[in-house]
Structure 1
């Protein structure tokens, strides 16, 4: 009797497992087919601005100021994101001598030219935390003494060209409306609800949650040992492109970073200091662009979509070198804290495009002005 019961239970569980597997595989197949259909070209190569974007942007600025105030320390107002810097270091960007003519626009218009620059390397969180915590990582580059009229009308940034990048190729929201909902939940301390705005499963953003979790990556061994992406698209003359910066150790003297104590709160700054200041070894990168092919699903307005590299491979447009230097001084750290990076500090040939970039213009300017005024800079 007991034997028959166990056999019956085993048979039932086996059938239930098979049924669940069939349903799971069927759901995966339907989901794959749906996303293949939904994320297929062609797409527009032009910007499409929603009617409510300006109102949403004003609301996001209010939330950003609220986050800044939540995370201020005793003496200074911090950035609303990427508050913790590993260092601001001097850099040199050299345009590729053999750059293709169709890519020779803006600061890349003169092959072989070298620009002096600042580079800020950072964690992504709005509050400084231990480097070993899973987090986004950021790279911001500011080219100096760049002639020509800029998109930003601020005299303070009239000679600058900025590039702002992160350590993941896709963003965790698709547009300004979703950013408003997501950011408001985080500002209210409800991070778990940021991707589940209501009880309606149709409003859930599971794919974007996965992107966010991937963005919160373990720390690299050094800030110069990971890849950074623009995520959102930009103009390069008449082209629509995305940027990325990849490590290029072959362009620098051979170097092996000594093992770092990752239990230290600032081991990424220590790694940068070890290489540039103690061992006096430069770090090298390649700056690359990826062209939009609008015949395929490479949208301008949705930065949560990674453009397919097999369709449009990245092309190197410049080399970046961080020379050996001393950067970890009180004066330079204060300078770093007061530097403002904004992709709209830009020549028209590099104009940011897409909703998230339009949002950046307003939010970055508002938060930067607020922060510097509160810090009496």
Structure 2
């Protein structure tokens, strides 16, 4: 027992330790050495995992597997936007149609603890995209502000352990102990995905003139919680979206957090928390969703056929950091694999 307690104490003490990465100037990325091979290995591992999870007719996303709804709304940039934030699509009074996909990260049962995801696709946005379709910009967010994998190498280790059916093998590695509190705190039960805050976890460029890195957050505007839903059903989060919109519109504020200190707010460590006391989120826009139909086979298929990639953005909003660099090819390749599988089986 004493030996067990000693091991547990060591684990808990080291769980808060972050990877030791080089200190970089504000707004600067690391060299990304070896990331091409890591990207290839990630694509191979996630392809294998996706094929393992796929049924005869449906291949789920590797992450954000369960769709609650895809909502159509409006992304409205503030009329009084300060000049320092007037970059790219963020122009005073600009309005863009937006589709938002709400999802569970891993669980198919809404009653279980999990990370929740929000993916936004804006249309009619200015600038040539770094990848993907002209006129579109994607934002990918999670319900916890830290990613459990700090670097591409660590994310690859997690994926490979998961493919082998032994995800615990990732956490017991001492160099990954920092991930444990993020996983434990980040997996939460929620009553409504429309009353949950979401975070980009990874940084992005703001404008092209200066090296200004930011993180994104999307938070409820503060409307009264909708009560009376049945949380005993495994699909209650979808039902609660419908109930919420039947009663009132859903509203979120979209904000950015400026990188002020490269030691406290690193770009290359996706597991590091950028503390709001060091740099608060500044609201730039409002997202609203009015009452709409959310159920139906056609709506579901449209939602499942959508793809999101952080590189679906102009240079004014370029993704930064190692995790984002490998996501470009990984999301593109795996998204195409999933789409081809599902489209070939639709209607059969």
Match of 2:230 among 257, 261, 264: 261
Secondary structure in structure 2 of the residue aligned to 1:116: strand
Residue 224 (str. 1) matches residue 194 (str. 2): yes
CA RMSD, Structure 1 to Structure 2 (Å): 2.5
Residue 113 (str. 1) matches residue 94 (str. 2): yes
Residue 249 (str. 1) matches residue 222 (str. 2): yes
| Higher mean C-alpha displacement, 209-218 vs 255-264 | 255-264
Match of 2:46 among 52, 56, 64: 64
How far residue 51 of structure 1 moved from its aligned partner, in angstroms, is 2.1
Match of 2:297 in 1: 330
User: Are the structure 2 counterparts of residues 39 and 285 from structure 1 closer, same or farther at C-alpha, using a change threshold of 3 Å?
Assistant: same
Residue 139 (str. 1) matches residue 118 (str. 2): yes
Matches within 5 A, 1:169-208: 169-197=145-173, 203-208=174-179
How far residue 130 of structure 1 moved from its aligned partner, in angstroms, is 0.7
Match of 2:130 in 1: 151
Match of 2:139 in 1: 163
Match of 1:376 among 333, 340, 343: 343
Match of 2:27 in 1: 45
Residue 352 (str. 1) matches residue 313 (str. 2): no
Distance 1:306 1:165 in 2: 15
Distance 1:259 1:165 in 2: 28
How far residue 172 of structure 1 moved from its aligned partner, in angstroms, is 0.6
Secondary structure in structure 2 of the residue aligned to 1:288: strand
Match of 1:83 among 65, 68, 93: 65
CA contact (8 A) 2:17 2:178 kept: no
How far residue 235 of structure 1 moved from its aligned partner, in angstroms, is 0.5
How far residue 148 of structure 1 moved from its aligned partner, in angstroms, is 2.4
CA contact (8 A) 1:43 1:299 kept: no
User: Which aligned segments of 4 or more residues in structure 1 are displaced greater than 3 angstroms?
Assistant: 34-44
How far residue 49 of structure 1 moved from its aligned partner, in angstroms, is 2.7
How far residue 204 of structure 1 moved from its aligned partner, in angstroms, is 3.8
Distance 1:322 1:131 in 2: 22
Unaligned runs of 5+ in 2: none
TM-score scaled by length of structure 1 = 0.83
TM-score scaled by length of structure 2 = 0.90
Secondary structure in structure 1 of the residue aligned to 2:265: coil
Q: Which has the larger radius of gyration?
A: 1
Distance 1:258 1:173 in 2: 35
1:39-63 per-residue CA deviation (whole Å, 9 max, x = no partner) reads 9977553111332111011001111
Distance 1:295 1:371 in 2: 37
CA contact (8 A) 1:130 1:265 kept: yes
How far residue 73 of structure 1 moved from its aligned partner, in angstroms, is 2.5
User: Are the structure 2 counterparts of residues 62 and 35 from structure 1 closer, same or farther at C-alpha, using a change threshold of 3 Å?
Assistant: closer
Match of 1:6 in 2: none
Unaligned runs of 5+ in 1: 1-15, 198-202
User: Are the structure 2 counterparts of residues 176 and 338 from structure 1 closer, same or farther at C-alpha, using a change threshold of 3 Å?
Assistant: same
1:109-146 per-residue CA deviation (whole Å, 9 max, x = no partner) reads x2112111100000001xx5110111110001100122
User: Are the structure 2 counterparts of residues 40 and 56 from structure 1 closer, same or farther at C-alpha, using a change threshold of 3 Å?
Assistant: closer
Distance 2:21 2:36 in 1: 27
